[in-house]
Amino acid sequence: MGSPATTTTTTTAPNNLFDRLKAACRDDWRAYTEHEFVRQLAAGTLPEGAFRHYLGQDYLFLIHFARAYALAAYKTTDLAEMRAAVANVDGILNTEMALHIEYCQGWGLDEAAMTALPEAKATMAYTRFVLECGLAGDSLDLYVALSPCVVGYGEIGAALAAGPTTAITATTSAAANPYASWIEMYAGAEYQGVAAGAIAQLDRLAEQRLTPARFEALAKTFRQATRLEADFWHMALTLAP
């Protein structure tokens, strides 16, 4: 592959909604998944201050992520969809955030310090965009806005783990790259299952609500969310407030 997070392209037509959306904004998707922040993660050269800034803002991001899934539960009357959304809220608040806090402690960040952080502009921009998509539309709009994050991290993790320029070795990953555990987390089977589940959820919702006329609006939402994800990397890399 030409770079640590190169998006795989094929000659066949996309067969799920996520791939169709990604194909509609290839340049923006590449700018996100191959961002300089991601490249430096792969090489192990990302300044520690930038990574800490990212971790702190990601903690704040998770809070709004939980709010988004709570909104997804509110926006539907389908009990299966409602239960899935509530399970996501519970998973974020009671499992994922605890794991994130534990991970951040290894980088000198505790929960009190992260809770007290002011939200960076890029954090506010993406999280409020996602919530607005859900408030103004239905759960399909909301899940499309979330998907560049949920599925994108899985794609980035898998690409970095497999990339020939990524500084990870089988026996000395931490020594080779201080960010190896982050890469391995998103490349691992558990998170890859989360990403696959998000793709399947989009397809289930699309079966109920997607029309040819609606695709362009969803692609616009997906494109904007992808750009905001790239802005989040830029925020971290430049220590932007």
- Domain limits for position 201: 47-238
Q: For 108, which DSSP code?
A: T
Q: Compute the distance between CA of residue 60 and CA of residue 119 in angstroms, rounded to an integer.
A: 7
Q: Is residue 224 one of the residues assigned to a domain? A: yes
Q: Is residue 221 one of the residues assigned to a domain? A: yes
Q: Is residue 28 one of the residues assigned to a domain? A: no
Q: Is the pLDDT of residue 170 over 60?
A: no
Q: Is residue 29 one of the residues assigned to a domain? A: no
Q: What angle do CA 153, 58, 157 make, to 5 degrees?
A: 20
Q: Is residue 11 one of the residues assigned to a domain? A: no
Number of residues assigned to the chain: 241
What pLDDT, on a 0 to 100 scale, did the predictor assign at position 172? 40
CB neighbour class for 175 (10 Å; exposed up to 12, middle 13-18, buried from 19) = exposed
Q: Is residue 27 one of the residues assigned to a domain? A: no
Of 23, 10, 15, the C-alpha closest to 200 is 15
Q: Is residue 163 one of the residues assigned to a domain? A: yes
Structure tokens given for 168: 């990870």
**Mean pLDDT of the chain, nearest integer:** 91
Structural element, H or E, at residue 111 = helix 111-115
What pLDDT, on a 0 to 100 scale, did the predictor assign at position 14? 72
pLDDT digits (tens, 9 = 90+) for 186-209: 999 999 999 999 999 999 999 999
C-alpha distances (whole Å) from 140 to each of 74, 135, 215 are 13, 11, 11
What pLDDT, on a 0 to 100 scale, did the predictor assign at position 166? 72
CATH number, domain with residue 193? 1.20.910.10
Q: Is residue 196 one of the residues assigned to a domain? A: yes
Q: Is the pLDDT of residue 174 over 60?
A: no
**Structural domains in the chain (count):** 1
